[in-house]
Amino acid sequence: MVNIVDVRDVVVPIRSDIRNAYIDFSTMTVSVIALITDVVHEGRPVVGFGFNSNGRYAPQGLLRERFIPRLLEAARTDPGTLLDESGTNLDPDAIWHVLMRNEKPGGHGERSVAVGALDMAVWDATAKIAQVPLWRLLSDQSHGGDAVPRVFVYAAGGYYYPGETHTALVDEMRSYLDRGYSVVKMKIGGAPLDEDLRRIEAVVDGVLGGDAGRLAVDANGRFDLRTAVRYAEALAPMGLRWYEEPGDPLDYHLHNALSGGYAGPLATGENLFSHQDARNLIRYAGMRSDRDILQFDPALSYGLVEYFRTLDMLAEHGWSRHRCIPHGGHQMALNVAAGLGLGGCESYPDVFAPFNGFADHIAVEDSRVELPEEPGLAMETKAELYSTVLKPLAESP
Amino acid sequence: MVNIVDVRDVVVPIRSDIRNAYIDFSTMTVSVIALITDVVHEGRPVVGFGFNSNGRYAPQGLLRERFIPRLLEAARTDPGTLLDESGTNLDPDAIWHVLMRNEKPGGHGERSVAVGALDMAVWDATAKIAQVPLWRLLSDQSHGGDAVPRVFVYAAGGYYYPGETHTALVDEMRSYLDRGYSVVKMKIGGAPLDEDLRRIEAVVDGVLGGDAGRLAVDANGRFDLRTAVRYAEALAPMGLRWYEEPGDPLDYHLHNALSGGYAGPLATGENLFSHQDARNLIRYAGMRSDRDILQFDPALSYGLVEYFRTLDMLAEHGWSRHRCIPHGGHQMALNVAAGLGLGGCESYPDVFAPFNGFADHIAVEDSRVELPEEPGLAMETKAELYSTVLKPLAESP
């Protein structure tokens, strides 16, 4: 019988001198989880690691007030409720239901981040106990082993740095191409439209050889309908990769109105944190299953257990998984993309260190990245993250 | 120049041996806020009190990690940002924007509860500094002083107590009538349909003299569409006061489908925590402005500042404020109902003590309650709440 013997958490900053159209990130924090099991591999306990994705704050209070105590209480009093039928591994779905005991429906924010971070640690531990990479565990469960462990990734950046000039923006974007990305994303909406258009032109002409199909733009939910339409009219002739989160994430009416007039792909979903919210997007926002991009981030949204529900809902509505490219730039999204056959995942080459990027020893090539063969989420393959954050937490008394 | 000199918080249980169709309340907690100002009335500092409403947990971590520090930082470095133009009172709207600095759009849960509790304390302090009851402050601002400080209240109860029999349920409901309520509400969905129908009949026939128009029933979001419809078909001939929260709060499709076939009033909204979520309910759920009831609870939903946005949205969609009967049974909902002319508010005569009920010295008569003339929210008129929770917190070192 496997069991969970401890769950530790720590808050670390992901300090960054960036801002998007909505917030600045200088005070952003991340909760990191170490889930200690009593399984021993090669003389050491198997430890699952998790953390919350960027854009929301470390949910330490929620973790310590409700979710970690519920999990440890179950581990102490009724450990069988946390395990699969064989009793030899954890059951992420069963653990999810323990975490969500006595939680009311609706109100999907903050607690979805706490549960998402714990779910990540649970899946990491589960795959490590099974001694396979998570992407392979998922692939074996869902696809009969036909996963292609080579995932489309794009470089998200192009923020409004203090004192930014077009030269700095162009240099930043060029550096992503130098590092193997061929598709990049930049922020819009933090400057007037004509200045944003100049910034876009500088990148398309100065970096992408005139190919706007390799550039996505992201308004971070800032626009009202009038502004969103004004931008859409200006952006439409360019043929951009996609136009992301033009309006408030819950304003399905705005998205629906925009869908009618903007022929290019729209992308949204990183600020919808449950399958019910995702379902409302699909029901009401006029999203087009032949082109639009869905960016739900499992690490902000009650984890992979909930993400399965979202994928089931999408299938019922006739959407392919290829239209899903999760927000977040973390190993969890990468493993889910590889293991479940999503359309790709986001990457932040220059921000949110040391939580950004993928395995140190695997380079991005032509905007694709291979997955490592190490078990679990393979966060141990990121030396700085492992040595400065994960290892000290796992080995703390 | 007025200023805020401290914000204190404490977590207290609202322990109760009840469960509804979804959760049990035995571990439920409340965060209580004391907002200490430098205004002195009759030799004592003016203190605003707030707390979060029931059904969600005390948001202490969120309060201490983000919201209280932001408020105290502004009070220390730039107090003018918290004040009205005269500088002689707080400005709840301006304070709201300070609290929500660097918060991303979407994800409306948990933080909405923390901000709701702080907003309550801010309004209490603001009305106390103005030396008027909050309901009158709101009435003067919004209606030219024509408020009627006599509000419809109904008794919510009828939970599934351990070992409950119909006799106990009938006795409980009768005791509400003995205390001046003529409209009562009971839970459904925690038992099979035929048992729930027997419980309803026992109350209608045994307590309400056969008048089902004085009984509302509440499923707490538990039903899928098939079950919701099955209940609707069984309930329809009875002529109940309303049928509350049949399905998941975000399942607008379910509510819409139900609206078409159930002629009686439907009620929902207590688990929608922003004006954007409320707007989606109005846009997509087929709610009928001539009969349905909207139960958005300001204390769970970013407070009264956000509730004004919800009321503006409702007006744009042709809804009267009379259709709003907030969840929660707290003084804030009561004052908002009186001051803004809502349709009433909920009351919990027997549970969630000492946060339940209204001023000790004012009795409920014919399901109406008058508001006290004491300044602010008048929580000081509830002796147990004041002496055991509020006063110790305000006077803590």
Q: Are A37 and A125 in contact (CB under 8 A)?
A: yes
Chain A residues whose CB is inside 8 A of the B104 CB are 22-23, 55-56, 220-221, 271
Q: Do A110 and B62 touch (CB under 8 A)?
A: yes
pLDDT score at A279: 98
Over residues B150-161, the mean pLDDT reads: 90
Over residues B307-326, the mean pLDDT reads: 97
pLDDT at B171 over 90: yes
The band of B149, judged by pLDDT with boundaries at 50, 70 and 90, is confident
List A275, A327, A330, A382, catalytic entry: A327
CATH code linked to domain A141-388:
3.20.20.120
Give pTM, 2 decimals: 0.96
pLDDT score at A396: 84
Chain A residues whose CB is inside 8 A of the B62 CB are 61-62, 110
> What one-character DSSP code corresponds to residue B53?
P
Over residues A182-204, the mean pLDDT reads: 96
Q: Which residue of B has its CA nearest to A275?
A: B250
Q: Do B105 and A249 touch (CB under 8 A)?
A: yes
| Whole-number average pLDDT of chain A | 94
Over residues A108-122, the mean pLDDT reads: 98
Chain B residues whose CB is inside 8 A of the A277 CB are 250
Higher pLDDT, B397 or B62: B62
pLDDT score at A147: 66
Nearest to A121, CA basis, from A272, A329, A274, A303: A303
What superfamily would CATH give domain A4-131?
A: Enolase-like, N-terminal domain (3.30.390.10)
Q: Which residues contact A5 (CB under 8 A, 6 or more apart)?
A: A36, A37, A38, A45, A75
pLDDT score at A95: 98
Chain A residues whose CB is inside 8 A of the B274 CB are 250
Domain with CATH 3.20.20.120 in chain B: 141-382
Over residues A43-61, the mean pLDDT reads: 95
pLDDT score at B56: 94
The complex's ipTM? 0.95
Q: Which residue of B has its CA nearest to A11?
A: B65
Asked if the peptide bond before residue A354 counts as cis, ω within 30 degrees of 0, the response is: yes
pLDDT digits (tens, 9 = 90+) for A247-289: 999 999 999 999 989 999 999 999 999 999 999 999 999 999 9
Q: State residue B184 phi and psi, 5-degree precision.
A: -130, 160
Q: Are B17 and B144 in contact (CB under 8 A)?
A: no
Q: Do A60 and B65 touch (CB under 8 A)?
A: yes
pLDDT at B320 over 90: yes
Please count the helices (runs of H) and the strands (runs of E) in chain A. Answer: 14, 11
pLDDT digits (tens, 9 = 90+) for B74-119: 999 999 999 999 999 999 999 999 999 999 999 999 999 999 999 9
pLDDT at B145 over 60: no
Beta-bridge partners for B48: B35
pLDDT score at B397: 72
pLDDT score at A19: 61
Compute CA distances A71 → A4, A9, A104, B201, whole Å.
9, 13, 18, 41
Closest Cβ opposite residue B280 in set A61, A66, A250? A250
Higher pLDDT, B380 or B20: B380
List A185, A187, A255, A275, catalytic entry: A187
pLDDT score at A384: 94
Over residues A148-169, the mean pLDDT reads: 85
Over residues B254-282, the mean pLDDT reads: 97
Nearest to A301, CA basis, from A120, A177, A171, A125: A120
SS3 B295: coil
Looking at the domain covering B4-131+388-395, what would its CATH class be? alpha beta
List B108, B187, B275, B330, catalytic entry: B187
- Known catalytic residue: A327? yes
Two structure tokens written together for B273: 């925590």
pLDDT at A298 over 70: yes
pLDDT score at B38: 98
Over residues B316-332, the mean pLDDT reads: 96
pLDDT at A145 over 60: no
The dihedral built from the CA positions of residue A232, A234, A236 and A241, taken in this order, carries a sign that is: negative
The band of A159, judged by pLDDT with boundaries at 50, 70 and 90, is confident
Query: How many beta-carbon contacts under 8 Å exist across A and B?
Result: 135
Strands A29-41 and A4-13: antiparallel
A356 CB-contact burial (10 Å; exposed 0-12 / middle 13-18 / buried 19+): buried
Among A155-164, B24-33, B383-392, name the most confident range: B383-392
Report the C-alpha gap between A23 and A19 in whole angstroms. 6
Strands, E assignment, chain A: 4-13, 29-41, 44-51, 150-156, 184-187, 215-218, 242-244, 266-268, 293-294, 345-347, 368-370
The dihedral built from the CA positions of residue A338, A340, A344 and A349, taken in this order, carries a sign that is: negative
pLDDT digits (tens, 9 = 90+) for B25-36: 778 899 999 999
Query: How close B338 gets to chain A, by Cα (Å)?
Result: 27
Alpha-carbon torsion angle B230, B234, B239, B241, nearest 10: -50
The band of B14, judged by pLDDT with boundaries at 50, 70 and 90, is confident
Query: How close A82 gets to chain B, by Cα (Å)?
Result: 20
pLDDT score at A352: 87
Residues above pLDDT 70, as percent of chain B:
95
Residues above pLDDT 90, as percent of chain B:
88
Over residues A322-338, the mean pLDDT reads: 96
Among A86-95, A145-154, A156-165, name the most confident range: A86-95
Q: Position B361: which residue type?
A: H
What superfamily would CATH give domain B141-382?
A: Enolase-like C-terminal domain (3.20.20.120)
Report the C-alpha gap between A91 and A83 in whole angstroms. 5
The band of B351, judged by pLDDT with boundaries at 50, 70 and 90, is confident
Among A18-32, A316-330, B344-358, name the most confident range: A316-330
- Known catalytic residue: A104? no
Domain with CATH 3.30.390.10 in chain B: 4-131+388-395
Query: How close B209 gets to chain A, by Cα (Å)?
Result: 34
Q: Do B107 and A284 touch (CB under 8 A)?
A: no
Query: How close A24 gets to chain B, by Cα (Å)?
Result: 6
